[in-house]
């Protein structure tokens, strides 16, 4: 980044938290960004949290994080479903993740190919049909399917439960063309339960494993958590975000989510 550019476009003192985040991205990563295109509110729910750490997602499913575009098919658990749904996720090209959205037309329990294979599925939602699906909708790597459900749940990119008509995944992926400026996260128990749970906010680069970020919080039936980052937490390009939980007993119902802004790279 040239001194002339900084002199023209960067103030000596950040006036807002988002302006400070943009300055930090420039100083730490060398990218000039624009934070004005899109915000994100991501939420998830898991009703079966137990004493082993699992994702805050429907049924605790840990979505596939593939190094190739290996997520290729979809189906519903109900043979009558023919709705058109929206699938959002990432493709990977030369080791870089890029956002990709596509519409899919259900054919009941029949395994059907995506028009664009993906390496991540961050959201599945019924946004264009006036009729709710009767079944849960799975998007997954190719393999054996029974009743519209992959027999190997480790191949699932994500799932949209019929009860919500949207994924319940407290996580997302950040493409190679932007950063994510996370402003905070929350978590709480949905039912009165004599239990405690640790909530973990985790991130990882595309070619590495998840690691615990700067924040771990505990909740109980008497308390929730609402963490506001100050300064904001910057998630670099080509990273994944995942919220997990582990409880003191089984069958704990937890909702969690996070919010923030996308910082699009406009100059490197």
208, 209, 241, 207: which is closest to 122 by C-alpha?
A: 241
Task: Specify if 7 maps to a domain.
Answer: yes
Averaged pLDDT, 167-182 = 97
Give the end of a domain, one of 160, 193, 212: 160
- The two beta strands, 239-247 and 32-34, are unpaired
Domain span at residue 198 reads: 3-56+171-267
Tell me, yes or no, whether 146 lies in a domain: yes
Report the alpha-carbon distance of residue 16 to residue 156 in Å, rounded. Answer: 40
Tell me: pLDDT of 12 over 80.
Answer: no
Give the residue from 165, 161, 111, 167 showing the smallest Cα distance to 141.
Answer: 111
Residue 156 domain flag: yes
For the entire predicted model, the pTM comes to: 0.91
Check whether residue 186 and residue 222 sit in a common domain: yes
Separation between Cα atoms, residue 69 and residue 74, nearest integer Å? 14
Cβ-contact 123, 87 below 8 angstroms: yes
pLDDT tens digits, residue range 48-92?
Answer: 999 999 999 999 999 999 999 999 999 999 999 999 999 999 999
What is the average per-residue pLDDT within 202-217?
71
Do 199 and 122 belong together in one domain? Answer: no
Q: Which of 160, 187, 214 is the last residue of a domain?
A: 160
Boundary-marking domain end, from 136, 160, 184: 160
Instruction: Give yes or no: residues 90 and 131 share one domain.
Output: yes
Query: Do 51 and 176 fall within a single domain?
Result: yes
Q: What is the pLDDT of residues 42-59, one digit of tens each?
A: 999 999 999 999 999 999
Judgement on whether residues 244 and 219 belong to the same structural domain of the protein: yes
What gap in Å lies between CA 96 and CA 98, rounded to an integer? 7
Name the domain count of the chain.
2
Q: Residue 252 is part of a domain; what is its CATH number? A: 2.60.120
Contact 119, 69 (CB under 8 A): yes
User: At 7, is the pLDDT very low, low, confident or very high (cuts 50, 70, 90)?
Assistant: very low
Please give the Cα distance from 141 to 151 (Å, whole number).
Answer: 11
Same domain, 204 and 139: no
Tell me: do 107 and 193 sit in the same domain.
no
* 42 and 53 Cβ atoms separated by less than 8 Å: no
What per-residue confidence (pLDDT) applies to 215?
60
Answer with the residue of higher pLDDT: 36 or 215: 36
Residue 8 gets the label, from left (phi > 0), alpha (psi -120 to 50) or beta, of alpha
Asked if the structure places residue 165 within a domain, the reply is no
Residue 178's pLDDT band (cuts 50, 70, 90): very high
Cis peptide before 99 (omega within 30 of 0): no
Q: Assess whether 123 and 155 both reside in one domain.
A: yes
Contact between 40 and 133 (Cβ < 8 Å): no
pLDDT above 60 (res 11)? no
């Amino acid at each position: 980044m040239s001194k002339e550019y900084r002199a023209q476009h960067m103030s000596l003192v950040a006036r807002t938290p988002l302006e400070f985040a943009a300055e930090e991205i420039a100083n730490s990563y060398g990218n000039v960004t624009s934070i004005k295109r899109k915000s994100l509110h991501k939420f998830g729910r898991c009703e079966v949290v137990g004493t082993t750490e699992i994702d805050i997602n429907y049924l605790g499913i840990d979505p596939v994080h593939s190094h190739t575009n290996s997520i290729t098919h979809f189906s519903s658990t109900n043979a009558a479903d023919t709705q058109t749904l929206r699938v959002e996720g990432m493709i990977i090209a030369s080791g870089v993740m890029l956002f990709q959205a596509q519409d899919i037309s259900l054919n009941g329990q029949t395994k059907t190919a995506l028009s664009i294979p993906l390496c991540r599925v961050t959201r599945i939602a019924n946004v264009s049909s006036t009729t709710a699906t009767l079944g849960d909708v799975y998007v997954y790597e190719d393999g054996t399917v029974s009743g519209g459900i992959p027999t190997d749940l480790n191949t699932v990119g994500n799932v949209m439960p019929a009860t919500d008509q949207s994924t319940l995944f407290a996580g997302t992926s950040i493409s190679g063309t932007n950063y994510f400026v996370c402003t905070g996260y929350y978590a709480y128990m949905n039912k009165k339960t004599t239990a405690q749970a640790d909530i973990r906010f985790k991130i990882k680069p595309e070619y590495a494993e998840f690691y615990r970020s700067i924040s771990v919080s505990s909740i109980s039936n008497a308390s929730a958590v609402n963490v506001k980052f100050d300064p904001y937490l910057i998630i670099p390009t080509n990273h994944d975000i995942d919220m997990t939980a582990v409880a003191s007993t089984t069958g704990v119902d937890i909702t969690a989510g996070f919010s923030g802004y996308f910082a699009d790279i406009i100059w490197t």
